[in-house]
Amino acid sequence: MRVVLLGPPGAGKGTQAVLLSEKLGVPHISTGDLFRANISEQTALGLEAKRYMDAGELVPSDVTNRMVRSRVAEPDAARGFVLDGYPRTVDQADALSKILDELGSELDAVLCFVVSEDTVVERMLSRGRSDDNEETIRTRLRVYRDETEPLLKHYDGLVVSVDGIGEVDEVNARALEALGRNAT
C-alpha cells in the first residue's frame, strides 16, 4: 500500500506514520527525518537543508525530489510506503507522480490529519525541536496554508480527512479505518 500523509506541521504525521508503517508492513519515509539524518551526519545536503528548516521554509524542491526519488527506489519500498511530509507542494506532487510512473506504481490513498492551529502550536512548543520556536512555527503554518493546502484539491478523490484530535491510539484507529483496515 502506498500512502501519503498530509496535515499542518505538528498535526502528528510523523507519530501516525510510525504506527501505520508497522501495521501495514511497509517502510516509513519521512523527508523531515531524512533531512535531520543528513544534518547530524553533516552532509552537503544536510547543511543546505538546515538553513531552510531553521527558518521554517521549505527546502528547495529539486533537492527534496532527488532525495525522495532515490529512497522510494530502494527495494524495501517496492511493496509500498507511508510517505510523511512529502509532497508539500503541487510541484512536488507532480514530481512524485513521475517517480511512481517510472516505477510502474501509483498512490492508493492520501490521508489528511485535521487539527486546529492552536493545537499544533501547543504540541510543537511542548515538543521543543530546534525548529519549534514561535517565529518559525508561524512561518511553517503560513507555508502550509500557501503551498501545501492546495494539494487537497490536487488529490481530490484520493484524500480522506482524519480527525487528528485525541489520543495517539484513537487517531491511529481512525487512520486505519480510513484506509479500510481494522485497528486490532
Select from 3, 39, 53, 93 the one that contacts ligand B4P (CB under 6 A).
53
Of 26 and 174, nearer to ligand B4P (C-beta) is 174
CB of 131 to ligand B4P, least distance (A): 6
CB-based burial of residue 80 (10 Å sphere; 0-12 exposed, 13-18 middle, 19+ buried)?
A: middle
Question: For ligand B4P, which stretch binds (CB under 6 A), given 12-20, 96-104, 154-162, 175-183?
Answer: 12-20
- SS3 category, 122: helix
> What cell does 141 get?
503554518
> What cell does 160 get?
480522506
CB of 109 to ligand B4P, least distance (A): 17
Residues 96-135 that bind ligand B4P (CB under 6 A): 123-124, 127, 131
**Is 43 annotated as belonging to a binding site?**
no
Q: Render 71-109 in DSSP notation, one character per residue.
A: HHTSGGGTT-EEEES---SHHHHHHHHHHHHHHT----E
d(CA 36, CA 130): 11
CB of 120 to ligand B4P, least distance (A): 7
Question: For ligand B4P, which stretch binds (CB under 6 A), given 8-16, 20-28, 154-162, 174-182?
Answer: 8-16
Strand ranges, E, within the chain: 2-6, 28-30, 81-84, 109-114, 159-163
**Is 6 annotated as belonging to a binding site?**
no
**Is 57 annotated as belonging to a binding site?**
yes
Cβ neighbors of 81 (< 8 A, separation 6 or more) are 2, 3, 21, 26, 27, 28, 29, 72
CB of 60 to ligand B4P, least distance (A): 8
Instruction: State the binding site.
Output: 10-15, 31, 36, 57-59, 85-88, 92, 127, 129, 140, 166
Annotated binding site for ATP: 10-15, 127, 166
Enumerate binding residues for ligand B4P (CB under 6 A): 7, 9-15, 31-32, 35, 52-53, 56, 58-59, 64, 85-86, 88, 92, 123-124, 127, 131, 140, 166, 168, 171
